[in-house]
Amino acid sequence: MKANELVKKALEIGTLIPAFNIPHIPMVEPIVEAIKDNNSVAMIQVARVEWLNFQSKSLEDVAKEYHKYKKPGYTFLHLDHIPVIDESNQHVDYMTYIKSACDVGYESVMIDGSRLNLEGNIAVTREVADYVHSFDIACEAELGAVMGHENEPISLSYEEIFEKRIGFTDVDEAEKFAAESHCDWLSVAVGSIHGAVAESLRDQKKPEGKIDLEYLQKLFEVTQIPLVLHGGSGIPKSYIQKAVKTGIAKMNIATELRQAYEFSLRDDNNLSKAQDRVYEVCSKIIKEDLEIADNYDLLIKVN
């Protein structure tokens, strides 16, 4: 099954594809094992910010590690957040990363043109989508501003951001974007928040996130494509379950696993124990938080 077929199937049957980020290379093996052992289906992914700010080295290094441990049918390799303009407001040579991902076995990619105006974002996304579609690779895009990757602390409280819908994906823009950008899945801003990547904020506990479900429903009605939720760590199960019924088919999870690895390694300086901790936390997310253990049988086995 191709990645695009997988996410569409998840939307159709009402399940969720989690995508686990890899800020540190040794996290790949325990996450893959947790996915397989729980008979679930998920993505392994890495974002540019993670090889710049953490220790995942490069998209090529993550792919090399992934191919050692991958479980066909259970795991898929996704390139997360390749920005056109990055967290420091610098322009990025995004097509170099996209082309490299196609060369080393990524099954889907994400181009992030969310810091551009609408027309610019549509144009860049169409360029990337048309390129990767020629390799039968799926394209994810982003519209709106899921906060948290900024290099400086956010001045407003989470509650203020949520109540004022600051950065939320505009409904009219989403309709136009879905129709013209050629993307397969769309990351939308509806209340979730990324974990901080700034050095001074990485160890802080994320605020408990929420999802504006009524607003999400409007976005799905006008786009009619699988929607993606970034910043999944810390969102209560009740919101996630309702979001899955309202268009969300893929959800990114990073902070919870990253902190499990980093805190364990810091406490014991034992790589094996840190990997065991990642396995434990990933299994808990799959079984208890998302309740998607055994969704392999629904998504893959019956096909």
pLDDT at 161: 73
Rounded Cα distance, 200 and 231, in Å: 19
CATH for 248? 3.20.20.70
Q: 111, 139 in Cβ contact below 8 A? A: yes
Residues 104 and 60: their CA atoms lie apart, in Å, by 7
pLDDT of residue 243: 93
Q: Which one, of 205, 197, 193, 188, lies nearest residue 162 by Cα?
A: 193
Q: How many CB atoms lie within 10 A of CB 284?
A: 15
Reported confidence tier of residue 235, pLDDT bands at 50, 70, 90: confident
Query: Mind listing the pLDDT tens digit for each residue in 40-61?
Result: 999 999 999 999 999 999 999 9
Residues 112 and 144: their CA atoms lie apart, in Å, by 10
pLDDT of 183 reads: 98
The count of structural domains within the chain is: 1
- Provide the 3-class DSSP secondary structure of residue 104: helix
The catalytic residues are: 80
Question: Angle formed by the axes of helices 118-133 and 94-104, to 10°?
Answer: 20
pLDDT band at 197 (very low <50, low <70, confident <90, very high): very low
Q: Residue 152's pLDDT band (boundaries 50, 70, 90)?
A: very low
Read off the pLDDT of residues 106-145 as tens digits, 9 standing for 90 and up. 999 999 999 999 999 999 999 999 999 999 999 999 998 7
- The range of the structural domain enclosing residue 216 comes to 3-301
* pTM assigned to the model: 0.91
Q: What's the gap between Cα 98 and its chain centre? A: 16
Distance CA 260, CA 209 (A): 19
Burial class (CB in 10 A: 0-12, 13-18, 19+), 261: buried
Q: Which residues of 223-235 are buried (b: 16+ CB within 10 A; e: fewer)?
A: bebbbbbbbbbbb
